[in-house]
Amino acid sequence: MTDVPGLPVVWRPRTTRVVAYATAGVIVLGMILLAVVVAPQFKLFDRILMVAFGLFLAWILHMFARCRVVADAAGITVVNAFRSRRLDWAEVVDVTMATGEPWPTLDLADGTSIGAMGINGAERDLAARQLDQLQALVHQRGEAPDPR
């Protein structure tokens, strides 16, 4: 079994963040450059819209790059692309991630489940370590002690 990490701990994908922010920078710079050198028939408003479109795409990429899973003494915070959710330890029954899945699934006590995009399955070794740590924390903090 994996050693239980000290709290608080934050898990986030590395590759996703690097690719998303690098791509966002290229898009914004490209749209600014395009707005400057575009043909004269494009007016100022059109040029502003080009840059605004680049900024909009950068914002979407930022939303994917911000994904993370944060564990502290009170519970788990799952920050996905467009939604965040705070869970108490007792709400999380199990954490699973089948081979080939993009991220783990947190099974909740109410019968629902949510994906945790902060652990990226594409980063195989890192994702396996992060998943083991999260599972260890869920089993340590989420399970009631044996009454015997």
Structural domain total, the chain: 2
* Domain match, 25 and 92 both: no
pLDDT at 1 over 60: no
* Domain match, 58 and 71 both: no
Handedness of CA 99, 102, 103, 108 (dihedral sign): negative
Residue 147, in any domain of the structure: no
The per-residue pLDDT for range 61-75, each reduced to its tens digit, is 999 999 999 999 999
Q: How far is CA 140 from CA 10, 69, 92, in A?
A: 17, 17, 11
Cite the beta strand spans of 1-148 per DSSP E: 9-11, 68-71, 75-79, 84-88, 92-96, 105-108, 113-115
* Domain match, 38 and 79 both: no
* Domain match, 59 and 90 both: no
The per-residue pLDDT for range 69-123, each reduced to its tens digit, is 999 999 999 999 999 999 999 999 999 999 889 999 999 999 999 999 999 999 9
The per-residue pLDDT for range 5-63, each reduced to its tens digit, is 888 999 999 999 999 999 999 999 999 999 999 988 899 999 999 999 999 999 999 99
pLDDT at 2 over 90: no
Residue 48, in any domain of the structure: yes
